[in-house]
Chain A
Amino acid sequence: MDADYLQHIDRLIQQRPVAGTALEPYRELARLMIQSEPETMDIPEDEHLEIRRKEGFPLFSREGLPLDLGAASVLLNQFFKYLSKADREDRTGLLEALKQSEKNSKWTDRLFAAILKQDEKALATMASQVGLDPRVLLFLGKTALKPSLESLRRLMEESIDQKNWDHGYCPLCGSQPDMACFTKTGKRQLHCEFCGEEWIFARIGCPFCNNDSQESLGYFEAEVEEGLRVYFCRSCQRYLKTIDRRVFEKVASLELESLATLHLDVIANEKGFT
């Protein structure tokens, strides 16, 4: 994550004004993320790595990810500080979260643990204690972990067997995709919602439930937005936004594209997909 990242944000806002709704407030978080310098953590030796890969296990379980939680914690506090200055309904909750976080480092540790373990009860309890919607804590916590996750991703780049990974979940951390793209050759590449890893997956088939019945799969698109599709599965009712790199030559990053296309999430939700 570098200065180019901010330029990509600016370019997206300029090209697609609707993208600005999310990307303008996200820009400051991105600027803080760029300044964050997480340490590269030691990778625990895994003598079963080959077997794990062969059997379709990701390199790490989410709770076992070697991340610099200290750097993430500093970043999270900066997010709370910045966002609590904005005119938001949950301003008091953000200030309370900042107070908790500064007072007790274990509070942020607990928050990151809840996010990593996907422990909804713990997250809901913590959110309730500070008077925030749990999704606010989830989003900010996940965003604060991004620089450290990116550094881990770069470190593990060569350990991932991209060629033989044909699962719908991330080869690095096992999370699900939140966005996809078609490469220049038309292959489908998925983007991990948590760590940002990207991997090739079957062009036709649901990555969430492995349904490959063409009758129950489909997509919708806006007639004026060529190159942006929302693929859905009528079997599990999930959806996946997809951007076509053959149409959009300059795709900044799928993470930014995901934020730039929230209107498609709104439409998908209205159609009953989650």
Chain B
Amino acid sequence: MNVNRRDFLKITGASAAGAAILGLGLDLKPIKSHAQTLKIRHAKETTSICCYCAVGCGVICSTGETGAGKIINIEGDPDHPVNEGALCAKGAGLSQLANNDSRITAPMYRAPYTNQWKKVSWDWALSTIAERVKKSRDKSFEHKNGKGQVVNRTMGIASVGSAALDNEECWLIQALMRSLGLVYIEHQARI
């Protein structure tokens, strides 16, 4: 009986199953028929960083190889130095960010004195925001304060940053807000 190197590697390596099957004199039929009844799904794992807050926890995303790479599971990355596998409740529900029928995918507008939201276009939303910021800023702009000191500020608008913003985005936002004269510049993580 001959055994070539490849066969030997097969039986001495991770796939020692062949040796066990033969060694124990097993009937492969029940094992094979059980295997045939199983519905198998393939996936791959990709490491990423949770998008929610500045802690930057590492996550492992499992995406199915069928179904347009849909996320099937997200868990904490045990090898990531920041969180060592742990996730907060929000991070643990991260897959709902992608797989969520209720996810809002277009800008929504609620007009003053109504309780109804309606879908609007990005063009309309951005132009309206710009117009109203300008209007509000012009109306509330203070060149000097009560003591006659030059302040060039507006107390009529406040900015709340998101924890999902990165360092560079935060810099751009605060630069814009300061150029408009805002003094109420806050960040979600401090609230």
Contacts and interface: CB of A to CB of B under 8 A. Distances in A.
Nearest to A230: B40
A270 B32 CA distance: 10
B138 interface: no
B69 to A, nearest CB: 12
B35 A274 contact: no
Interface in B56-91: 60, 62, 65, 75-79, 84-86
Contacts of A18: 30-31, 34
13 contacts: A18-B30, A21-B31, A134-B8, A178-B15, A178-B16, A193-B14, A203-B78, A214-B45, A217-B44, A222-B40, A259-B20, A273-B15, A274-B10
Given A123-B3, A127-B1, A223-B39, A218 B28 contact: no
B5 A120 contact: yes
Interface residues of A, number: 68
A134 to B, nearest CB: 5
Interface string B1-45: 111010011111111111111111111101110110011111111
Given A139-B19, A239-B14, A266 B84 contact: no
Contact of B14 (A136, A177, A185, A215): A177
Nearest to B22: A135
Interface of B: 1-3, 5, 8-28, 30-32, 34-35, 38-47, 60, 62, 65, 75-79, 84-86
A156 interface: no
Contact of B40 (A177, A178, A221): A221
B7 to A, nearest CB: 8
B35 A266 contact: yes
B46 A214 contact: yes
B15 A203 contact: no
Given A178-B13, A222-B39, 12 more contacts: A18-B34, A21-B30, A143-B23, A186-B76, A186-B77, A187-B85, A217-B45, A223-B40, A263-B38, A265-B15, A267-B38, A274-B14
Contacts of B15: 178, 238-239, 265, 268-269, 273-274
A208 interface: yes
Contacts of A218: 42-45, 65
A139 B43 CA distance: 32
Nearest to A187: B78
A270 B28 CA distance: 14
Given A214-B44, A224-B39, A138 B23 contact: yes
